[in-house]
Amino acid sequence: MTEIDAQLALNLSRRFRLIRQLGAGGMGAVYLAEQIAVGNRPVALKVLSRKLLDDPEFLLRFQNEAASTGRIHHANVVTIYESGQADDGTPYISMEFLEGESLRQALARRGALPVTEVAEILQQAARGLNAAHKLGIIHRDLKPDNIFLTYPDDESVAPVSLVSGVRWAPPESRNRTPPAQGGGAVAPTSPSTNFVVKIVDFGIAKLRESGAHTQTGMVLGTPAYMSFEQASGMRSDELDARSDVYSLGVVVYEMLNGRTPFHSETPLGYLRKHMMEEPPPFRAVVPGLGVPPAVERAVMKALVKDRDQRYTSALDFAREMTSATQASLPLPSPLILSPPAAEVSEPLESTKIVRTLKQPPPDSKREGKVNPKDGLNYVWIPPGTFMMGCSPGDTECLDNEKPPHQVTITKGFWLGQTEVTVGAYKRFAGATGRQMPPEPVLEERALNPGWGNEAMPIVNVTWDDAQAYCVWADGRLPTEAEWEYAARAGSTAARYGPLDEIAWYADNSGRQRLDSARIWDAHKSNYLWHINNNGNSLHEVGLKRANDFGLYDMLGNVVMWVNDWYDEKYYKIIPSQDPTGPTTGALRVARGGSWVSYPKYVRVSCRSSAVPAYWDNGLGFRCGGEVFAS
């Protein structure tokens, strides 16, 4: 440790313990530190250089980062814990310590990225930006350096979208190499979507409600990524979210092509190009690149000079990019097996509404009531003890399902007999003014057009959407332990019955029977095409056999959000009574498998996870708790 670092460590010693320097720049340095008062929590500690304390511009920029980022609470934005001053007056910001690499480092290491991976990075970055934009905060300096990719330590976890149907690569298919500097999560060398994107460095972010620091004609940002508005010197108080959309478009262009749309030797040269030149088409930059035309069109719309012709939000850009990516998957010959006649599943009519549920087995009759709020049936789940985690004899368990452990649920609770339906969610939306989520679509095929089939499960909901619904319905999301206890219903097997009798999954949710595991092994990159070509889809709730608690679709149809934060090592320290999961985290747990899952991921112990803002067309939920306890 240098003499300067030693003095800094002394001045910060009442609150932090410096471990090592992570990086340094013109404004100061960033250290890995431990926050003493919070159980020695690891933090990234950004410290402003003392020589800049008398420079009001740099001091303001440093304070602005703490003020802007500190207001944003989102899984895709770095978390600010606190800001303050060391004993000698040096300003600092304590923030979430991220393990992984910047997008800049990933591009330098790998070059241009696959389209599906780019779409996923854009999707997560857009959600983080949307959270900032809703607060009136414009980033103004989006670039690969300020988009960070964190990778989970444990690759055994099933990403929620592998279970529910959007991402392409399973955990076991990924090759890993150590990071350049030891410790922490490692970065994949092959295409991966098992990461969490974090937007960082809001140092020149604009808080739109305050124009006190705006100077007309003052250009802030990184020239290669500036929007047309920034390059032309537009006043800060006139900038809006569309400026960030343009910069995000430059980043996406670079991810796909390996270079930015414009190049110049001088900052002024970049500004002129942003104002006067059109971005070159992909084929002019990298001949034979092979990016689908629909994807290129989606990117070019973000780079239009006239902001009124751009996407109005980062989320709109991400949705268009995702749609173009999914619609452009290659079309190999289908791999469909002829099913036994009794197992063919005919597609459901979109207008059909299920009004009654199949009766559960005679020995499974449980007390049930209708919730007057959402109109759904709820079943009473009695207290009891069970073995949670990998089932005896189950050879497909992932590491995060181990070790199996005994858990006691000490209090009974109510649980929705089915997934939350479209009809029930419409009641919620009507009562609260909340918008319906985007309609489910697979490669331009509508799965429930206009949300017309109200007996289908609601999907494309975030964890926050699910939690808000359950609170409105006088309940809550079940804990992970409650979910597995209810799903097992006394069974110790990997599934509570023969899979085809209890669940809609990839093999049986389409026109003909598939061998989805074989398709995955042979055609990973085209798995979703096979699913779509076979007409696989969501199905109305309650059509399969119930378990012995009288619950339907605990496996298959949709993977379900539960209340817990995710920790791959939680089972090693889990309490034996009423566990509620880790106290904090970046990912939430989802359970159950979906209509697009292959059998490995349709088991009662299988755990998947996703950022709370994630949504897709195989992800839903059901509510529980003490709904009717009084």
In 493-612, where does DSSP find H-type helix?
A: 499-502, 516-522, 527-533
pLDDT at 55: 65
Q: Is the pLDDT of residue 216 over 50?
A: no
Please state the pTM of the whole predicted model: 0.53
244 and 110 fall within a common domain: yes
For 570-599, the pLDDT digits (tens) are: 999 999 999 999 998 888 999 999 999 999
Q: What CA–CA distance (Å, rounded) separates 187 from 153?
A: 10
Domain-located, residue 176: no
Q: What is the CATH number of the domain that holds 255?
A: 1.10.510.10
Residue from 5, 54, 88, 141 carrying the catalytic annotation: 141
Confidence at 305, pLDDT banded by 50, 70, 90: very high
Of the residues 305, 327, 349, the one at which a domain ends: 327
Give percent of the chain with pLDDT exceeding 90: 47
Q: What CA–CA distance (Å, rounded) separates 240 from 230?
A: 11
Q: Please enumerate in sequence order all residues whose Cβ is within 8 A of that of 554, keeping only pairs 6 or more positions apart, or say none.
A: 483, 486, 487, 496, 502, 547, 592, 604
For 399-413, the pLDDT digits (tens) are: 999 999 999 999 999
74 and 113 fall within a common domain: no
Q: What is the CATH number of the domain that holds 48?
A: 3.30.200.20
Helix (H, G, I), strand (E, B) or coil at 481: helix
Q: What is the CATH number of the domain that holds 459?
A: 3.90.1580.10
User: Position of tokens 């970046």?
Assistant: 586
Domain-located, residue 380: yes
For 166-214, the pLDDT digits (tens) are: 332 222 322 323 233 333 334 443 444 568 899 987 654 443 333 333 3
Q: What CA–CA distance (Å, rounded) separates 5 from 498?
A: 63
Domain-located, residue 69: yes
252 and 345 fall within a common domain: no
Parallel/antiparallel/unpaired status of strands 607-610 and 158-159: parallel
- The domain total for the chain is 3
Q: Are 279 and 222 in contact (CB under 8 A)?
A: no
Range 299-322 average pLDDT? 93
26 and 135 fall within a common domain: no
- Looking at residue 293, the DSSP 8-state letter turns out to be H
**Domain span at residue 409?**
341-625
Domain-located, residue 303: yes
199 and 243 fall within a common domain: yes
Domain-located, residue 560: yes
Domain-located, residue 359: yes
141 is catalytic: yes
Q: For 434-504, list the strands marked E by DSSP.
A: 441-442, 445-446
Domain-located, residue 310: yes
Q: What CA–CA distance (Å, rounded) separates 208 from 49?
A: 28
Range 449-454 average pLDDT? 96
Parallel/antiparallel/unpaired status of strands 147-150 and 196-199: antiparallel
Cis bond upstream, residue 403 (ω within 30): yes
114 and 240 fall within a common domain: yes
91 and 105 fall within a common domain: no
Domain-located, residue 345: yes
Q: What CA–CA distance (Å, rounded) separates 386 from 496?
A: 14
Q: What CA–CA distance (Å, rounded) separates 243 from 253?
A: 16
For 455-510, the pLDDT digits (tens) are: 999 999 999 999 999 999 999 999 999 999 999 999 999 999 999 999 999 999 99
Q: For 399-515, list the strands marked E by DSSP.
A: 405-409, 413-416, 441-442, 445-446
